[in-house]
Structure 1
Amino acid sequence: MPVLTRDEAVARAALLQADRYQVELDLTTGHETFGSTTLIHFTARAAGDTFVELKPAELRAVTLDGEPLDPGLLVDNRLALRLTEGAHELRVEAVMRYSRTGEGMHRFTDPTDGETYVYSQLFMEDVQRLFAAFDQPDLKSVFELTVTAPEGWTVLANGITERGADGRWTAAPTPPISTYLVAVAAGPWHSVRTEHAGLPFGIHCRRSLAPYLDADAEEILDVTRRCFDRYHEKFSEPYPFDSYDQAFVPEFNAGAMENPGLVTFRDEFVYRSAVTVTERQTRAMVIAHEMAHMWFGDLVTLKWWDDIWLNESFAEYMGYQTINECTDRYPDTWVDFGVVRKAWGYDADQRPSTHPVAPDPEAVPDTAAALLNFDGISYAKGASALRQLVAWMGEKEFLAGINTHFARHKFGNATLADFLDSLASATERDVHGWAAAWLRTTGVDTLAPAYDPAAGTLTVERTGTRPHRIAVGVYDRDLADPEQLTLRTRITTDVPGGPGESGGVPLPGPRPALVVLNDGDYSYAKVRLDAESWETAVRSLSGIPEPITRAVVWNAARDMVRDGELAPTAYLDAARAQLPHERDLALVQGVLGFAAGQIADRCLAPADRPAALALLTDLTRDLIRRTEDGSDPGLRLTAVRHFIDAADRPGTLQGWLAEGEVPGGPELDPELRWRVLARLAVLGAVDEDTIAAELARDPSATGEQGAARCRAALPDPAAKKAAWERLFGGGEDLSNYLFTATAQGFWQPEQAELVREYVPRFYPDATELAARRGAAIADAAGRYAFPVHAVDTDALALGERHLAEAELLPALRRKLIDQLDDLRRALRVRSGGR
């Protein structure tokens, strides 16, 4: 199946202009397919040959300017067109397939009540799964959508929809938008509607989730209104669409999608079970992120996919910053960004697959290559770079440049050069030089302190090439409580530090107990602690006054483990000593996540894993005891979750399950019950009858996923064989979510011997699956079905050989490159960094 190349897109954009699409969809034709009729009004600037994209189940009829074309002209996903200069009308009638992979038009039947929902996800090149289109971002057009839906359904789209006769819904025409941003969601939605700033706002979910959406509706709408108002304070261009709907949809692959006027979110954001304040904060940040796209991404859109970072980095930065500014409902969002998102960026930037935040256009020759760049670099590193840019040039100047950009390119397309020109108009600083250093380079700089006690100065030693504007935090022990630290001073400095780069930062007074580079976390760099500062951190990390500083220190420890400079057990010892006193939930979650998922499961040899799990069990038990008074339910919930995951004996968990609660709380809601059952399945303490009974108790979509995860985790050869067949066998294809749940359950460190025979089978089976089912399942297979527990040289050699010899779908190849690099790193850590 050919993918669109950049050269083809440039040629087609030069040849034609897409004026207007009239799209009719019929969702009443059955469970497998739907009807799609498209009339494209476009203008050819000259005579020439081109093509329109379409991936139909059946192409029924095509006419160009009223003359029929041979449907046989459709080869793979391209219908060839021979054009004369002037205006044209292309009409395409087709039957299209519903998807179960979250691509195109995804169809889902809710096992709770049997209701069916469909929604579109057209990102990158999937509009052709819905209707015929000139599918590239710089051929913007007006879209007029009509949808015939079953009785009792509501149709949502980019514009306000109205129901007419015979179940036909008509959406208001859109302003000029890109093809990948067209959206439709249809089904018997439960909706909460309101109005704000003269516009209709709505939030929507499946009927079975109605009580949970209603419980959080005011919080979601309050965040939405606050973000909307804050963006109107920041941006001079008003919100450019006629309404703002947010639909929480099932089996969604991403966190959300910025369709103008109809943002789609994964419906796990409608919480069925207890969650922490940081999880609510994440939902709020995603709401803010997607709303930022209404301006940067939808109003002004990239010209080609090399500039996808302009969409995602901007929205990522604005999402975190705006939630911090417009509500005091949540903690400091930048702490969570520091321990979760930046770690994602740092990891991606140190792999062989790294790429610049803004790659050269030639490095993104087609859509298949572009799809690989939706990673921690385009999101987290890019947002970090923008945060550094704002610190460097000033927020007032940054926003002035952004508003110039919107005014110059509204309802059009723009490039990195356009963006930099807009910023340059608002500052005397060399933003083009900044971009060359930050956006066109790869890798992570490392900053290390060198203290000269005789001179009373600190020199920042940098490995790398980028300039950094950072704060240096200088801390002393509190005289009243030596376990606490107090800030002596915070010094802002530039790295390089000045002419000749020979000067140091003056630190008058006695040797500080702790020196923290990049205090405040405004730059993107790995930092190191000197020996005395590390000794202080081990003893008093939780005594550092500000959580963002503690995040920087914990990240330094994390990076030192990954780079073989700190023993994994030393990190665990620091966690054991400091987390019982930690006050910030995002930090507790981040440290426990790394300790369990990376150190216990990968960085330590199998013989050392039981001791690591015992330490985590003791640590989380302490946190549970600390919260017995009900003072911190989020911390207690986090501790309970990690206690469950680390349990190496079934007794306590079986007792909780029998009682239906943890003594002193919380109650075992569906999320916790399935979590307990999954761990008991790994330990061989449940059977199929127990899993089936729990599924009967919770016959929801998440219940089905929980049961699939548990069944795949059972330490039984027959269960493993059945799970592998469901994943790769080619019978009834699992939906994207059921595939992921089954894959998550299959590999367990405790069951290494049981599943050893499947390690070599993974590579050919995943390769065939990816070729058969496409990019979304290829990504899921590489992410979740990879044998991450198999940390040995034989597993590495096996993967390297397959990577060198096999013909792989690009999405799977990228995932395997990353997984094998992580495997090499784990082997180096196990060998003491050698």
Structure 2
Amino acid sequence: MSVLTRDEAQTRAQLLDVHRYRVDLDLTTGDETFESTSTVRFTARAAGDTFVELKPATLHSATLDGAPLDPAALDGNRLPLSLTEGEHELRVTATMRYSRTGEGMHRFTDPTDGESYVYTQLFMEDVQRVFAAFDQPDLKAVFEVAVTAPDDWTVLANGITERQPDGTWKAAPTPLLSTYFVCVAAGPWHSVRTEHAGLPFGIHCRRSLAPHLDADADEILAVTKACYDRYHEKFDEPYPFDSYDQAFVPEFNAGAMENPGLVTFRDEFVFRSAVTVTERQTRAMVIAHEMAHMWFGDLVTLRWWDDIWLNESFAEYMGYQTVNEACSDLFPDTWIDFGVTRKAWGYEADQRPSTHPVAPDPEAVPDTASALLNFDGISYAKGASALRQLVTWLGEKDFLAGINIHFKRHKFGNATLADFIDNLAAATDRDVHGWAEQWLRTTGVDTLTPRLDGEGLHWNLTVDRAGTRPHRISVGVYDRDPSGDLVLREHRELDVPQDAPAALTGPRPALVVLNDGDLTYTKLRFDEVSAESALRGLSRVPDPLTRAVVWNALRDQVRDGDLAPADHLAVAGAHLAEETELALVQGVLAFARHQIADRYGPADQRPAALATISGIARALLRRTEDGEAPGLRLTAVRAFVDSATTPDKIASWLDEGTVHGGPELDPELRWRILARLAVLGATDEAAIAAELERDPSATGREGAARCRAALPDPEAKAAAWSALFDSDDLSNYLFTATAQGFWQPEQADLVSEYVPRFYEAAVALGDRRGPAMAEAAGRYAFPAYAVDADSLALGERHLADTPMIPALRRKLVDQLDDLRRALKVREG
């Protein structure tokens, strides 16, 4: 299949003005395929040759202005068109394949009740898996969608849908949309509906999840309404569509997708087991993120994929900020969780060979395949961090004024980075263009380090910068009181680079924290005194966001080889059991468990690392026996299970169905325990089958696949490997679960023979099943446990010598760089 190049898109956009699509889908023709007819009305501005995209199982017919086209002319995914100047109508009828990879029209049958569901995910170039289209973002059109579905199904779409007398479902015509925003979700949905601000709102899920959606419906709708109202306070343009539906769909690859009027979410956000408040906060942030796209992305859309960061960075920033403002009664400070989890994603991506500017040069995104690689921590987390710094530097009033200019000038159209910067510049006297060049067109992470000079009660603070970007930061100056607590003396706003050192009045501070408040994007280091205070007194720092900044600095020091992994674990052991901020506990424990224990620490020190993590978990369990902090307790239970080196305690929990003192084991905890028991060789196929009978849900199937792949048995490993790479039967989610179970550090000798087999198998899989599965193979099936020079050399040879699709190549570049870093940390 040919990917669309930027040059081809520009040429086609100059030739065509697309007006309207009529899309008719018949979903009643079986489990493997569906019927698709698209009728496209458009104008050719001049005579010329072009093409329409389609990826059919069978192309039945195509007519241009009533004249038949030869179906045999379809070349890969392109049907050529020779046009005269003027109005045209193209009609294409085809049989299309359902997907099991989360691309195109994905079909899923729920093992709990046998009900089937379908939904579209048409991002970037997958609309052609569903209907014929001029598939690029700057050929917007009105869409009319009609769907024939089984009698007991409900059909959702971008506009309000109604069942017609003939049984088909018809959606209201949309405003002008890009092709990749068209969405259909059909099945026997369980729905909760309401109205807000004069519009119909709905949330939808599989019938088997109905009790869990109902339990959370009030919270989900409250968040949705609060964010909707807050955006109307921020934005001058009203919500541009006729309804707001949110469908929680199975086996979804992303977190969510911003289809206008019908946002699709992965249905793990319908929680069927206990979760922490930070997990609920994440769901709220994703709701806010996708709603922000209704304006930035849907109302105003990028012209080409080099500006995808504009969509994602803006929505990421607005998602966290708006939940912080509109839902503060439900959730703590969202920026703590952003700093601990999302921002780390950006820092890591920005230090790999695959890094790129937040706003890449258009020439660096020559086609859709290369554009797909930019959905990473830079486009999301670094971009959102840059926008947060921009708001700090510019002021929120001027920032929102510029955004509203942007919406007004480009609504229902397309815009570029240059348009965005021009519109921001129209609202301020500051040099936004210069800021953009320094922040958006460069790569890498700056590092800021404080330097204190003086004596007695007079000290000067100089911020040394390794890097090139300007920063506006808040500096926290802390003293130690007689009890040992670190007490804030002052916050000092500084611009870096400085015109002159900042004068501090008073004794030498015990701790100086640059970027206190986490308003810029940079790595941090400490002066010698502050470093000692941070290591000894982290739990005595009063503000949780400041503690997050310090923890992040320590994490970066480990990754850069400036702090020994064992020392980081020692700090965690000394301070984490006293931590009250849940996001910090979760983030630090996750780094300790998956990076330090499994990768950064020497293999012979892994048992001691796991023992330290288990000790932290036990201390948190003791601290939470009174039931006052259920989120902390749940986090501690999870950490204890994941770090268990002997099976007795967690096996007793599974047998008894509860942790002593709570909680009782729900499905998530039962599968988590069983997976760890499988790794430790303390369970078997019979126990896994019994648990699957107890929980025959889709999540249960994934849990069973993960457990079976984790069994320390040669036959189990061979069966798992065959399921992953020798057939295409696994759906995207079952593939991921199987891959997650396969590689285990405890089973290094057992799986060593598969390490050299991975690369050839992954390349063949990517060629057969496409970018989504290739990315899953590179992320989850990569032998990350094998932190050794031979594994690195093997991977580098394949990367140099083996052709592979771009999605897999990018993932392997990142994995091998992470492996290279882990080796360097281990070597000290």
TM-score range, shorter chain: over 0.9
Give the corresponding residue for 2:608: 611
Measured against aligned partners, the alpha-carbon deviations of 1:212-242 in whole angstroms (never above 9, x if no partner) come to 0000000000000000000000000000000
d(CA) in 2 for partners of 1:167, 1:478: 75
Match of 2:367 in 1: 366
Q: Any conservation in 2 of the 1:313–1:386 contact (CA below 8 Å)?
A: yes
Please show how residues 579-658 of structure 1 align to structure 2 within 5 Å: 579-658=576-655
Which residue of structure 1 lines up, in the alignment, with residue 432 of structure 2?
Answer: 431
* Alignment of 1:531 onto 2:528: yes
CA shift, 1:370, in A, is 0.2
Matched residue, 2:131:
131
Structure 1's unaligned 5+ residue stretches are none
Alpha-carbon distance, 1:167 to partner: 2.6
* Alignment match, 2:719: 722
Equivalent residue number for residue 52 of structure 1: 52
Query: Structure 2 counterpart of 1:544, which letter?
Result: V
Matches of 1:602 and 1:395, distance apart in 2 = 41
Q: Which runs of 4+ in 1 moved over 2 A?
A: none
Q: Distance in 1 between matches of 2:198 and 2:549?
A: 43
Unaligned runs of 5+ in 2: none
Structure 1 counterpart SS, 2:751: coil
Structure-2 residue corresponding to 1:564: 561
| CA distance in structure 2 between the partners assigned to 1:712 and 1:655 by the alignment | 23
CA contact (8 A) 1:572 1:612 kept: yes
**What is residue 155 of structure 1 aligned with on the other side?**
155
1:545 to partner: Cα distance: 1.2
How do 1:782-801 and structure 2 match up within 5 A? 782-801=778-797
CA RMSD of aligned residues (A): 0.6
Deviation readout 1:408-445 (Å, 9 max, x if unpaired): 00000000000001000000000000000000000000
1:537 to partner: Cα distance: 1.5
How far off is 1:165 after superposition? 2.8
1:477 partnered with 2:480:
yes
Q: Which residue of structure 2 aligns with residue 543 of structure 1?
A: 540
Q: Which residue of 1 aligns with 2:672?
A: 675
Q: Is residue 760 of structure 1 aligned with residue 756 of structure 2?
A: yes
Query: What is the deviation of 1:798?
Result: 0.1
Matches of 1:699 and 1:628 in 2, distance apart?
A: 32
Matched residues in 1 for 2:606 and 2:397: separation? Answer: 51
Equivalent in the alignment of 1:231: 231
Aligned length: 825
Residues 387-426 of structure 1: pairs in structure 2 closer than 5 A = 387-426=388-427
In structure 2, give the amino acid aligned to 1:200.
P
Q: Look up the SS of the partner of 1:757 in the other structure.
A: helix
For 1:807, the equivalent position in structure 2 comes to: 803
Q: Which moved more, 1:163-172 or 1:646-655?
A: 163-172
Matched residues in 2 for 1:627 and 1:456: separation? 43
Residue correspondence of structure 1 range 11-26 to structure 2 within 5 A: 11-26=11-26
Aligned 8 A contact 1:274 1:669 in 2: yes
Q: Counterpart of 1:383?
A: 384
Q: Quick one: distance in 1 between partners of 2:505 and 2:561?
A: 33
How far did 1:640 drift?
Answer: 0.2
Q: Distance in 2 between matches of 1:38 and 1:456?
A: 72
| 3-state SS in 1 of match to 2:146 | strand
| Residue type at the aligned position of 1:780 | A
Q: Name 1:446's counterpart in structure 2.
A: 447
Q: SS where residue 140 of structure 2 aligns?
A: coil
**What is aligned with 2:507?**
510
Looking at structure 1, the residues matched to 25 and 462 of structure 2 have their Cα atoms a distance apart, in angstroms, of 65
Aligned match of 1:738: 734
Partner Cα separation in structure 2 for residue 736 and residue 279 of structure 1: 23
The residue correspondences of 1:311-330 to structure 2 (distance < 5 A) are: 311-327=311-327, 328-330=329-331
Tell me if structure 2 keeps the 8 A contact 1:285–1:323.
yes
Match of 1:456 in 2: 459
Residues 19-39 of structure 1: per-residue CA shift (max 9 Å, x gap): 000000000000000000000
Deviations 1:73-128 (A, max 9, x none): 11000000000000000000000000000000000000000000000000000000
2: CA distance between counterparts of 1:403 and 1:626? 49
CA distance in 1, matches of 2:167, 2:682: 52
Letter of the structure 2 residue corresponding to residue 247 of structure 1: A
Q: Can you list the C-alpha shifts for 1:591-639, whole angstroms capped at 9, x where unaligned?
A: 0000000000000111000000011111100000100000100000000
Distance of 1:749 and 1:536 partners within structure 2 = 35
Distance in structure 1 (CA, Å) of the matches to 2:625 and 2:692: 31
CA distance in 1, matches of 2:563, 2:528: 12
Q: Within 2, Cα distance between the matches of 1:678 and 1:175?
A: 48
Please name the residue that 2:285 is paired with: 285
**1:709 corresponds to:** 706
Q: SS of 1:823's equivalent?
A: helix
SS at match of 1:444: coil
| Structure 1 residue 478 displacement after superposition | 2.3
- In the alignment, the residues of structure 2 paired with residue 422 and residue 652 of structure 1 have an alpha-carbon distance, to the nearest angstrom, of 61
Report deviation, 1:531: 2.0
1:530 offset after TM fit, Å? 1.7
Structure 1 residue 487, shift from structure 2 partner: 0.4
Query: Which amino acid counterpart does residue 356 of structure 2 have in structure 1?
Result: H
Cα distance, 1:155 vs structure 2: 0.1
**Counterpart residue type for residue 65 of structure 2:** D
In structure 2, give the amino acid aligned to 1:228. Answer: Y
Q: Distance in 1 between matches of 2:177 and 2:729?
A: 34
SS of equivalent to 1:76:
coil
User: Contact conserved, 1:476 with 1:485, CA < 8 A, in 2?
Assistant: yes
Q: State how far apart, in whole Å, the 2-side matches of 1:154 and 1:534 are.
A: 60
Decide whether the 8 Å contact of 1:226 with 1:326 is kept in 2. yes
Query: Matches of 1:22 and 1:770 in 2, distance apart?
Result: 33
Aligned with 1:40: secondary structure? strand
Offset, 1:662: 0.1
Q: Does 1:67 align with 2:34?
A: no
1:299-314 matches, cutoff 5 A: 299-314=299-314
Deviation at 1:529, TM superposition (A): 1.3
**Distance (Å, rounded) in 1 between the aligned partners of 2:519 and 2:250:** 36
SS at match of 1:282: helix
- Structure-2 separation of matches of 1:573 and 1:504: 35
* Distance in structure 1 (CA, Å) of the matches to 2:687 and 2:268: 25
Q: Does 1:467 align with 2:463?
A: no
Picking from 810, 825, 828, the partner of 1:829 is: 825
Q: Distance in 1 between matches of 2:74 and 2:725?
A: 31
Q: What SS does structure 1 have at the residue aligned with 2:749?
A: coil
Distance 1:72 1:46 in 2: 26
Is the aligned partner of 1:31 residue 2:27?
Answer: no
Q: What residue identity is the alignment partner of 2:401?
A: A
Identify the range of structure 1 (19-28 vs 445-454) with the bigger mean alpha-carbon deviation: 445-454
**Match of 2:336?**
335
Aligned to 1:146: 146
Task: Judge conservation of contact 1:189–1:206 (CA < 8 Å) in 2.
Answer: yes
Q: In structure 1, which of residues 663, 683, 707 is the aligned counterpart of residue 660 of structure 2? A: 663
CA distance in 1, matches of 2:10, 2:643: 54
AA partner of residue 163 (structure 2):
R
Q: Which amino acid aligns with 1:450?
A: R
> 1:453, CA displacement in angstroms?
2.6
Taking every aligned residue pair, what percent have the same amino acid on both sides? Answer: 76
Contact 1:538 1:578 in 2 (8 A): no
- The one-letter code matched in structure 2 to 1:814 is R
1:724 is matched by which residue type in structure 2? W
TM-score by length of 1: 0.99
Query: How far apart, CA to CA, are the structure 2 residues paired with 1:646 and 1:530?
Result: 34
Paired amino acid for 1:594 = F
Q: Deviations over 1:267-313 (max 9, x none)?
A: 00000000000000000000000000000000000000000010000
Q: Distance in 2 between the 1:478 and 1:692 partners?
A: 58
